[in-house]
Structure 1
Amino acid sequence: MRAIRGATTVSENTVDAMHEAVMELLDELENRNQLNPHDFVSVMFSVTNDLDAIFPAAIARKRPLWDSVPMLDVQQMHVQGSLKRCIRFLIHAYLPVNMPIHHIYLRNAANLRPDWSRPQSFPAPSTSLESRV
């Protein structure tokens, strides 16, 4: 099982603005990672406390094959000075361990994790007992 992170921001707290941002984020996620929602174990969306027009999961459920994915929406902890109007996701999926993952950070959220602007790949886990000690 692998985890994929991503985030974006919206211009205003409206259904239309959130719909546009979530769809753009998930389009980029699917396109850059060649993902199939059937491989998803779960998706968690978080939003900052200044976003309450619609649940991101309600938007995602309208996408092809996303209607059967377990999803949860939560409110991001408020920290003074943190990024405003931000939508984040954490996806757990069954993916090959050697498959590079592209974490998706768009709009103003691109500054959250500039170190993840390149695909993340991890070596295959070792099967030897010594490597697990």
Structure 2
Amino acid sequence: MIRGIRGATTVAQNNEAEMLDHTQQLIEEMVHANQVEPSDIASVFISLTADLNATFPAKALRNIGREWTYVPVMCMKEIEVPNSLEKCIRVMMTVNTEHSQQAIHHVYHYEAKKLRPDLIDTEK
């Protein structure tokens, strides 16, 4: 079964180092929380708000390890919605898994926790 795992984070600045660091932290937690191996990942889509353009956050996956070399990743611009969360990086990871929809752990860091408070794991 293919399932989607959602994640999002924010950064304080349009800064390459911070964008890569926060994206890597997010991806690593998404993988750990859902017991995912890179070979289980069908694809990763990363969107950025219009105020972020210092780097491609997909580069962060290549920093995780060699086993990520063949994971397909694509970056794109998030639609601009008035009064939406700024400096936000969103991730949609599609994975092959036996977990049910309800067993998937979606991950939100920093200001992105405001996006889906209903999905925040209160035990973490």
TM-score (norm 2): 0.90
Q: Which runs of 4+ in 1 moved over 4 A?
A: none
Q: How does 1:58-97 map to 2 (within 5 A)?
A: 58-64=59-65, 65-97=67-99
| 1:7-26 Cα distance to aligned partner (Å, 9 max, x none) | 00001001111011111111
Q: Which has the higher contact order (CA 8 A, sep 6+)?
A: 2
Structure 1, unaligned runs of 5 or more: 120-133
Question: What is the DSSP-based 3-state SS (H/G/I as helix, E as strand, rest coil) of the residue aligned with 1:61?
Answer: helix
Tell me the CA shift for residue 63 of structure 1. Answer: 1.5
Tell me the CA shift for residue 98 of structure 1. Answer: 3.7
Q: Percent identity?
A: 38
Question: What is the DSSP-based 3-state SS (H/G/I as helix, E as strand, rest coil) of the residue aligned with 1:16?
Answer: helix
What residue in structure 2 maps to residue 113 of structure 1? 116
Higher helix residue share: 2
Structure 2, unaligned runs of 5 or more: none
RMSD, matched Cα: 1.5
Tell me the CA shift for residue 5 of structure 1. Answer: 0.4
What residue in structure 2 maps to residue 126 of structure 1? none
Equivalenced residue count is 119
TM-score (norm 1): 0.84
